[in-house]
Amino acid sequence: MSDSHATTHFKELGLLAIVEVTNVCNLRCGYCYLGPLKSGDMSPETVKQVVGEFIKYNQSQQKLSKFYWHGGEPTLRGVPFFREVLRYADELSGEKVIHAIQSNGVILDEEWMTFLSEHDMGLGISLDGLDDSHNIGRSFANGAPSNKEVLKTLDRLAKTNIPVGILFTLHQRNRQQVQKVFHFCRERGFEFGLNALTRTPYHQTFEDNAPSPEMYADAVIEVFDLWLNQPAGERRIKANPPVGLVRAILTLTGGGECSHCTNCNEVIMAIRPNGDVYPCNRFSGMNRFRFGNIASDGLRACLQHQHRMKILARNYQVIERCRTCDIGSICNAGCMGQAHGEYGTIFREDPLCDAYKRIFHYAQQTINNNLITRKEVQYA
């Protein structure tokens, strides 16, 4: 069942920090946005600076702080590291701070489960298929498959109260797994999210498996129908993009999907292990998108950096193809990181543009088909 009503609360979120606490990873995913870089941890001092700067800034705006703990593989830093980080954040904030962690799910043991459960910490796990199609893009450094470890972890998580979201990255070789992974999630009460594999600045060989806009649209529409037609009386799960699409159409604000926000950089920042600040992980390490360093420059200077000002100028009205598009104000030109990966500039439409047109029109039609004009009202 949806838990959105039971746990709804409405405090306004501040600037969201995606914190890469390490470059180190136990997997070698073929589409990793960090490319070949696999060494370097964020120092405890830098972590404290990040937490302190963001909490202080968000409090000055009277907003809630939220941290997405990322990597590399963030769980490699261990439970004691995160226990200290969360304790520090709580102590500093004096009010609720929201934490979520994105993991490959390989080393999550009982200690981790207890910790996540105790702290009501959201957990995202990447799963690209139930069979070998997961391993094609997500193997260990020695080439060994990782799916058995991940599935074992997910079976254990299904027996806990930890809020789990599965992130399925669609590529040309796992298209047939979309439906299977959705049902896997529904049986276990996990949220399902589908992303498309997109190009990174490193142009790794595996990126040639990026799905075509047509394949991506087919997959999203399939997920939309799976989400929509979950049997009444049985466990239902939330799925994205579908929920985000409906919200985006009804509110014209992106509906919580970062790809369709007016400008995601108004609300997100990514911090590298060395403290360098970027608009999002998709730009990590690219100097012309660097806003500065959290330790040497501070967050406020990063917020005012000329690179950020340039990025904030992106919206659908400054992109020719989007300006005249009938879903321009809903789609908001898609992901600027994906546009940059494909065309080398953020001032282009997302390369999945043709897919978004199909998907939004499909969702819009579905909404319209389920509404009716009241008979007694003269509706102009």
- Is residue 268 close enough to count as binding another protein by CB under 8 A? yes
Contacts of 115 (CB under 8 A, 6+ apart): 79, 82, 83, 121
* Length in residues, the chain: 380
Is 328 near another protein (CB under 8 A)?
A: yes
By CB under 8 A, name the one of 71, 124, 275, 279 that touches another protein: 124
Q: Is 323 in the site for another protein (CB under 8 A)?
A: yes
Per CB under 8 A, which region of 22-30, 99-107, 108-116, 134-142 contacts another protein? 99-107
Q: How many CB atoms lie within 10 A of CB 214?
A: 11
Which lies closer to another protein via its Cβ, residue 192 or residue 291?
192
Kindly state the smallest distance separating residue 296's Cβ from another protein, in Å. 25
Q: Looking at residue 370, what DSSP letter applies? A: T
Which residues within the stretch 277-316 sit at the binding site for another protein (CB under 8 A)? 280-282, 316
Q: Measured between alpha carbons, how far is 347 from 313 in angstroms, rounded to an integer?
A: 9
Q: How many residues bind another protein (CB under 8 A)?
A: 92
Query: Which candidate, 228, 247, 246, places its Cα nearest to that of 236?
Result: 228
**CB pairs under 8 A, 24+ apart, for 222-229?**
222/178, 222/179, 223/178, 223/182, 223/192, 223/194, 224/359, 224/362, 224/363, 224/366, 226/179, 226/182, 226/183, 227/182, 227/192, 228/366
337 part of the interface to another protein, by CB under 8 A: yes
> Binding mask 37-66 vs another protein (x if CB under 8 A, - otherwise)?
---------------------------x-x
CB of 160 to another protein, least distance (A): 13
Bridge pairing between strands 276-278 and 292-293: antiparallel
Sign of CA dihedral 181, 183, 187, 192: positive
| Window of 37-45, 212-220, 247-255, 292-300 that interacts with another protein by CB under 8 A | 247-255
Stretch that binds another protein, among 81-89, 151-159, 160-168, 199-207 (CB under 8 A): 160-168
User: Could you say which residues in the range 165-194 bind another protein, by CB under 8 A?
Assistant: 165-167, 191, 193
If the CB atoms of residues 18 and 346 are measured against another protein, the closer one turns out to be 18
Does 240 interact with another protein (rule: CB under 8 A)? yes
Listed ranges 24-32, 135-143, 147-155, 264-272: which one lies at the site for another protein (CB under 8 A): 264-272
Please state whether beta strands 268-271 and 239-240 pair in parallel, antiparallel, or not at all (unpaired): unpaired
Does 141 contact another protein by CB under 8 A?
no
Which two three-digit tokens encode residue 154?
Answer: 């997910």
User: Exactly one of 89, 121, 181, 336 binds another protein (CB under 8 A); which one?
Assistant: 121
Q: For helices 178-188 and 147-157, give the axis angle rounded to 10 degrees.
A: 30
**Which region among 87-95, 236-244, 271-279, 340-348 touches another protein (by CB under 8 A)?**
236-244
